[in-house]
Structure 1
Amino acid sequence: MSWFKKDPLQIIAFQGYGTDTHFYARGRALEDESIDLESQNIWHLIINTWKRFETDEIKNVGINIKLPNGKILKGQTDRDGYYKVEANLDELAKLANDEGWLPFELSYDDVNIKRTIQNDNRFPGEILIPSTKAQFGVASDIDDTILHTGVVSTLKWKVIYNSVFKHAKNRIPLEGAADFYHKLHRGASSKNANPIFYVSHSPWNLYRYLELFLKQNNFPKGPILLRSMSNLLKRKKQDEKPQKQKEILNLLKTYPDLPFILIGDSGEHDPDIYMEIAEDFPDRILAIYLRSVKHKKRMLRVKGLIENYKTTEVLLVESSDQAIKHAKEHGFIS
């Protein structure tokens, strides 16, 4: 007889992206700690934060991905429970809906596993295959770009407070941001279905929290691309690119015929990352929008950076209305 009931197993699929001929999915296998996404009780919020970061990973196990056409793809989790499954296939777009989302089903490869939720060993996932009608893609930061976070606060105390003591449903989006992103998603024809990718330096542990925030505040659905805690704590090599930069470069590589709009804030490293990307892909970056932050020293630095920058247009914006006006003038939105 066991004195302690073991938590059931789950597989969390991160919304990914692919093409008509390339499948690319990521996620994580974990014990289900029963995080309450609805409760706004302060004690529950603290416990939920602890559960998000004190994870029990399911290491080095096989997983299956079943596509709508019945095809099975095989993968395996690493020492932190993450999996990454890539495959070159044909006509994947035919399996997707009108918005380009291709659903699939995840399961543990070991049929003897009995600890999954309801013991059915079936977990949903999906990847985005951008529409052929897409005019451009959007890669957007999250913190202080669409979500009030406080990354420029002293010792980032606001980031800690907001992440621990505020429910995702109570987090405040920047005014007009959701409307701007929907306009970008619809594009100049209002039917372009331009893909939106949310790229952040936040850890994957906050994936469901951020997913709930975006859904609750009516942002366009799009892949959320974060980074692992091990990468967060690991000391980078001197010439190593930031994870956010790597993700955007991978998007540009995955969609070689798709130009991009980059959106971030002027508080930390977005200006440097985005301008370097534009230098490497001068014909692929249509515009860079940077949200102004309330930090005089950092704003002076960014203004100095962009003052004589000519590769692509960089716009410092105080509000979504400014960005919308610029996007209309340049034919990005109707």
Structure 2
Amino acid sequence: MFKEVLQRLNLHEKDPLQIHGYQSYGTHEHIYLLGRALEDEGVNLEKTGFVNAFKNAYRQFRSDELSHAKIKVKLPDNRVLYTITDEEGYFKIDEKLANLKDLTNEEGWLQLELAYDDENQKRLVTNDNKFAAQMLIPSDKAEYGVISDIDDTMLKTGVTSLLKWRVILNTLFKGVGKRTPFTGAADFYKKLHLGKSGSASNPMFYVSNSPWNLYHYLEAFIKNNSFPKGAILLRDFRTPFDRTPKPEKPHKQHEIRNILKTYPDLQFVLIGDSGEHDADIYIEIAEEYPERIKAIYLRSVTHEKRAFRVRGLLEKFEVTPALLVKDSTAAEDHAREQGLII
């Protein structure tokens, strides 16, 4: 707030502008792209040390968004789309568009170019007013899709700690290079991505309750630890003063249903943990789409009461194979028995 006052008085230089294009997903005739227009706060995830980690976390959460900014989206074949950001700087392209599959790479990624379309904003941008975005269109070789949670499923987070204090400490004081994946998780995900054939390019979807402010942090974690590239689906960060209507369904349920509806001919593997509500959500989804879910894997967190409750849920559940596992090895062995991987 103080910086904004100084900027209006011309006593502080305005921050350059940027556009965050999030890794999203679509079909060969439907483009679905999410992103956000923001001021560049100088976040540098490559800097190490807890002081830099804290600075990065602070800058990610004190984002200055650009509301009602006009954004131009350019496709590889030079087709152009336009959209306007909302009050919090978010934008969405959700419309039918033919022949998108012809523009993707071998893994199914469509490369897009974002830019501001307002002359006043163009003068303040970095990167020559060119920002990258990507959208995943599943390959014809895909055998099934994988939908995974991130926190305490791939990334050691501490969501079961009292008042989630470990989550807070890890986010504020640990740089992305210091964050630890679970042993064997990346290798297991790679095998799922390659499928039974060993060359399937099965689409990966990472769904988390983390806010969009941590998008680049989680994107870097996935890349740095050699997890397969995939669509990353986070949620808006709500404050106690947020007056916007709450979603009818929890974020994960909403996103998973959207994915299943987008790809009606594709089956899925669901991966989560026993720490929060993944078991309840996945069971509900599998009962709603009994022919669509090939397997459910839930990593057992170090919280015996929650693990005990999840074991009770799974004992009564017979719709699809569902396992509570201690490590990736147990999940991998089962996936191989089920013919999901080689």
Q: TM-score range by the shorter chain?
A: over 0.9
Residue 116 of structure 1 corresponds to which residue in structure 2?
125
- The one-letter code sitting in structure 1 at the alignment partner of 2:133 is G
**Counterpart secondary structure, 2:119:** coil
TM-superposed CA distance for 1:297, in Å, is 0.9
Residue 88 of structure 1 corresponds to which residue in structure 2?
96
**Counterpart secondary structure, 1:152:** coil
**Do residues 141 (structure 1) and 149 (structure 2) align?**
yes
* CA deviation string 1:230-284 (max 9, x = no partner): 3897699899321011000000000000001000000100000000000100000
| Superposition TM-score, scaled by structure 2 size | 0.94
Residue identity over aligned pairs, in percent, reads: 54
Residue 84 of structure 2 corresponds to which residue in structure 1?
76
Instruction: Choose the corresponding residue for 2:160, options 143, 152, 166.
Output: 152
Indicate how the Cα distance of structure 1 residues 329 and 238 shifts in structure 2: closer, same or farther if over 3 A, else same. Answer: same
Task: For structure 1, list consecutive stretches of 5 or more residues without a partner in the other structure.
Answer: none
TM-superposed CA distance for 1:112, in Å, is 3.5
Does the 8 Å CA contact 1:203/1:232 hold for their aligned counterparts?
A: no
**Counterpart secondary structure, 1:102:** strand
Which sits farther off after the overlay, 43-52 or 215-224? 43-52
In 2: Cα distance, 1:240 partner to 1:136 partner: 28
In 2: Cα distance, 1:268 partner to 1:301 partner: 11
Residue 221 of structure 1 corresponds to which residue in structure 2?
229
**Counterpart secondary structure, 1:230:** coil
**Do residues 210 (structure 1) and 191 (structure 2) align?**
no
- The one-letter code sitting in structure 2 at the alignment partner of 1:117 is T
Does the 8 Å CA contact 2:52/2:175 hold for their aligned counterparts?
A: no
In 2: Cα distance, 1:145 partner to 1:168 partner: 16
Indicate how the Cα distance of structure 1 residues 10 and 237 shifts in structure 2: closer, same or farther if over 3 A, else same. Answer: closer
Residue 3 of structure 2 corresponds to which residue in structure 1?
none
In 2: Cα distance, 1:13 partner to 1:235 partner: 26
In 1: Cα distance, 2:193 partner to 2:74 partner: 29
In 2: Cα distance, 1:111 partner to 1:134 partner: 43
- The one-letter code sitting in structure 2 at the alignment partner of 1:65 is V
Does the 8 Å CA contact 1:141/1:199 hold for their aligned counterparts?
A: yes
Indicate how the Cα distance of structure 1 residues 313 and 234 shifts in structure 2: closer, same or farther if over 3 A, else same. Answer: farther
What are the within-5 Å matches in structure 2 for residues 295-334 of structure 1? 295-334=303-342
Alignment coverage as a number of residue pairs:
333
Aligned-residue CA RMSD in angstroms?
1.7
TM-superposed CA distance for 1:191, in Å, is 0.9
Instruction: Choose the corresponding residue for 2:33, options 8, 11, 25.
Output: 25
* CA deviation string 1:48-88 (max 9, x = no partner): 11111111000011101000001001111000100000121
**Counterpart secondary structure, 1:75:** strand
In 2: Cα distance, 1:175 partner to 1:235 partner: 41
* CA deviation string 1:88-145 (max 9, x = no partner): 1111010000000000100111134200015x21111110000011010000000000
Runs of 4+ deviating beyond 4 Å: 231-239
**Do residues 39 (structure 1) and 47 (structure 2) align?**
yes
Does the 8 Å CA contact 1:67/1:103 hold for their aligned counterparts?
A: yes
In 1: Cα distance, 2:190 partner to 2:182 partner: 14
- The one-letter code sitting in structure 2 at the alignment partner of 1:222 is G
What are the within-5 Å matches in structure 2 for residues 235-314 of structure 1? 240-314=248-322
| Superposition TM-score, scaled by structure 1 size | 0.96
- The one-letter code sitting in structure 1 at the alignment partner of 2:276 is E
Does the 8 Å CA contact 1:142/1:200 hold for their aligned counterparts?
A: yes
